[in-house]
Structures are given as structure tokens and as C-alpha cells.
Amino acid sequence: MSKRPLILAPDTDPHASALAWALERQGVSPLWMPSLQARPGVHYTFRVSDDEVSLEDSLRGGDGISAVWNRRLHDPTPHCADADRTFAEWEWKLFQRGLFNLPQTFGDALWINPFPAAQRAEYKIVQLEACRRVGIPIPDTIVTTDAAQVDALRRRWGRIIFKSFLVHHWEESENGRMHAVGVTLLDEHSELPPESIAVCPGIYQRYIEKSADVRVTVMGERMFPLKLTKRMGGGGFVDWRDHAKKGAVLAEAFTLPGDVEAKLRALMRELNLVFGAVDLVIDTEGGYHFLEVNQAGQFLFVEEMAPEYPILRCLTAMLMTGRTDAPLEAVQGVDMASFRRSDAIEALGERIEERPPERPLLTIE
């Protein structure tokens, strides 16, 4: 039985487009869709008995699945009468979630990442508590709606960072001015309005005086660490993402200390993640501190900043073989520079223009 990868993402996702292009260059045709296909002519049959768990899928026929890349899963969109839509949507949604919560749904396929682990790892509180268990230093943190608690943390450390759980954008109706809630530095001059802080919980952390930021892209058994500093003068940014596209960030491939690498591997095992984009900071004394791990984070920009990292080849090999230690030798002619020059990038642009996304797709989250 032949096997091919399953990519769970819309066809407007640049990362999925890059991997589909890379796989096809190896003669592998992935099954690529944002969800189960709830449309006429496509059928699924799930069987469970005392001695069997199996899924029959008319789209893939007799092909097996080597790996499932849980990149940007959507809920199915059923084709039905409007009067039946709410019921049908929930039936499809619950069916899909049930299937994807079973690792054996696609036999011995490698999940990147397993569906239950991916959902759990989305919670920053879960990540921080997991770091505590495996011994990775984290900034002193509170999550609160109480301005007095925020003020106490600020008085203890002098400067603190506010983070929202999600980056939120909005536009002033009067003048069209755009605003965003994301990462904000708070010091002794910052106002802490109790009414605003009480609206919803926020994340408040000790500000670490940085010598550098570090992005570690973890792909199975491999890690690709990238050190990020100010191009002029060195040191770290409050949020390096705001400066990356301005050319102000110096990015360098480097080697993690052995103990830091070992603890990150322990964290990935603790969270049951195969892939993760980990953000760390290095303080002025050389100590490492964990900020977050994005289990579906962006990674194409890392290879563009550090072309010596074979990131696209690595994930292509994992999807082809279903192995976390997949050898790279079998994957040829695949890198970000080639993808940028390919017809696939033009086709992606046309799809995005035809169906504009709600937010930018090629970012550095």
C-alpha cells in the first residue's frame, strides 16, 4: 500500500503551499484540504469494534497516510439546505474532532502535532506550568484582572511586560486609525487603570533585560536555533517581530547550550509536541528564559534569515517518511529561495488575491 501525507490547511496558507510544492518535487502528491470534505460524492466510514479501528475515505481510496500535518485545521463546511445548516455543521464538527482525537485513525501515521496535544499547547498557562515541571526558567508571571496585583509586580521588578492571549487589532471609526493589543512594556510612568485591567485577564511578566532573543524551530529530532539581536548596537528588542521587516534585526544561526537543548526536548515531550516554534530570551548574564511555544508557528522566515538551515527539507522529509528523524538525503531541490522563484508562489498569490484572508498569512509569529 502506498502512503502519502495529509496536509490540513487551506490552499491560501503559504506554509502549506511551500510543503505541497516541495513534496510534489519529490514525486509525492499530498492530500491537501482544510478539513474533512463535507461535499457531495465524498464519503467517510469510521469502523470501531472489539478488534478494529479504521477509517474508509473515498478521497484517498486505498492509499495510506504517512503523516498528518495539523497546520491550520478548519471545521467542515457541509453542502445542505440553510434550514439544516446549524445541525449539519455541528454533526460534521463533532465527527471530525472525534476522529482526530484518535491517533490510530490513520493507522501509524505521524501527527504533527497530535490533535489533543495541539489544542492543549495553545494555552500559555499550560506552557508555563510545563516549563516549571521540566526546569526551564520563566519570568515571574501573573495572569490577573486586578490592577493592584499588576502594580505589586511592577514595584517588585521595576519594569514588566503586558501580553494579551491573542494579538487583537481594531480601527477607530472616526479617523480610521489602527490599534493593536499585543506586547507592551510597563514601567513606573505607565498608567494602570483598574477599570480597563478588570475587563479581561491579561498576562503580566517580569521584564528580562535581554542580550538577545532566540527563536528555536523544533522539527522532530532536529532543532534550528536562531539568535536575534539589534543590528545597530546589539542587545534585544521588547518585541523583535515589530522590527524584523524594517531590517533592524540581525539573525544568526548558532548552537544552544547542551542543558538548554535537553530541557527543550523535555518540554516537547511533556507537551507531546512534534513541532514547535519556541521563543526564548538570553539575559545580560547569559541565562536563558522561556517566553512561549507556538505549536503551529511560522517557520519559513527562519530559513530565509539563515539559509544554511534546511528547514523546508526537514519537514518535507518528515511528511514523506512519517519519521521524526527522517533523513534529509532523499529530499533534493527544495529550499525557500527555489520556492520563491517557483510557479507555486505565483499561484498562491492568485488564490490569496481571489480569497483575501482575514489576517496576514506570511508572518513571523
C-beta of residue 217 within 8 angstroms of C-beta of residue 299: yes
Question: Is it the case that residue 234 has pLDDT exceeding 80?
Answer: no
What pLDDT digit, counting tens, does each position of 182-192 carry? 688 999 999 99
Please give the full DSSP string across 273-339, using - where no structure is assigned: -SEEEEEEEEETTS-EEEEEEETT---HHHHHH-TTS-HHHHHHHHHHH--TT--STT--S--HHHH
Which range (96-105, 144-153, 166-175, 355-364) has the least confidence? 355-364
Q: Give the CA distances from residue 332 to residues 24, 29, 61, 123, 242, in Å, rounded to whole numbers and listed in that order.
A: 11, 16, 28, 37, 34
Residues 252 and 341 in one domain: yes
- Where does a domain end: 162, 188, 206? 206
Calculate mean pLDDT across residues 195-210.
Answer: 94
Location of C-alpha cell 445548516: 85
Which domain range does residue 313 map to?
Answer: 210-354
Q: Tell me: pLDDT of 195 over 80.
A: yes
What per-residue confidence (pLDDT) applies to 262? Answer: 98
Same domain, 225 and 249: yes
Helix (H, G, I), strand (E, B) or coil at 49: strand
Q: In this predicted structure, which of 227-236, 269-278, 325-334 has the lowest mean pLDDT?
A: 227-236
Q: Check residue 73 and give its pLDDT.
A: 95
Q: Virtual CA dihedral for 356, 359, 362, 364, nearest 10 degrees?
A: 180
Higher pLDDT, 249 or 143: 143
Query: In whole angstroms, what is the distance from residue 347 CA to residue 81 CA?
Result: 32
- Do residues 214 and 345 share a domain? yes
330 — pLDDT class (breaks 50, 70, 90): confident
Is pLDDT above 50 for 89? yes
Residue 340 lies in a domain: yes
Q: How sure is the predictor about 231, in pLDDT bands with cuts at 50, 70 and 90? A: confident
- If one counts the domains in the chain, the total is 3
Q: Is residue 133 part of a domain?
A: no
Q: Is residue 130 part of a domain?
A: no
**pLDDT classification of 61: cutoffs 50, 70, 90:** confident
Structure confidence at residue 362 (pLDDT): 45
Q: Clarify whether residues 162 and 202 are in a common domain.
A: yes
Please indicate, yes or no, whether residues 191 and 219 belong to a single structural domain of this protein: no
Positive or negative CA dihedral for 18, 281, 118, 354? negative
Question: In terms of domains, do 312 and 235 share one?
Answer: yes
Question: What would the DSSP string read from start to end of 57-91?
Answer: ETTTTT-EEEEEE-SS---------GGGHHHHHHH
Q: In the predicted model, is pLDDT for residue 365 greater than 60? A: no
363 in any annotated domain: no
Map grid coordinates 539575559 to a residue.
Answer: 283
* Mean pLDDT value across residues 114-135: 96
Residue range 96-118, pLDDT digits in tens: 999 999 988 999 999 999 999 99
More confident residue, 214 or 353: 214
pLDDT at 93 over 90: yes
- Local structure of residue 248 (DSSP, 8 states): -
Confidence of residue 358 (pLDDT cuts 50, 70, 90): low
In a domain, 131, yes or no: no
Residues 233 and 269 in one domain: yes
CA 27 from chain centre, in angstroms, equals 27
| Residue 345 confidence (pLDDT) | 92
For residue 361, the model assigns a pLDDT of 45
Confidence class for position 179, pLDDT limits 50, 70, 90? low
- 364 within a domain of the structure (yes/no): no
Residue 175: which pLDDT band, with cuts at 50, 70 and 90? confident
Per-residue confidence (pLDDT) for residue 360, from 0 to 100: 47
Instruction: Using the predicted structure, report yes or no on whether residue 148 has a pLDDT greater than 80.
Output: yes
Tens of pLDDT, residues 288-321? 999 999 999 999 999 999 999 999 999 999 999 9
What single letter denotes the amino acid at residue 159?
R
Closest CA to 140 of 206, 207, 66, 87: 206
% of the chain with per-residue pLDDT over 70: 93
Task: Evaluate whether residue 127 is within a structural domain.
Answer: no
Calculate the CA dihedral of residues 214, 215, 219, 221 and round it to 10 degrees: 0
What the block records as the C-alpha cell of 205 is 511578566
- Encoded amino acid at 63, one letter: D
* Structure confidence by residue, pLDDT tens digits, 242-282: 766 667 788 899 999 999 999 999 999 999 999 999 999 99
Distance of CA 41 to the CA centre of its chain: 33
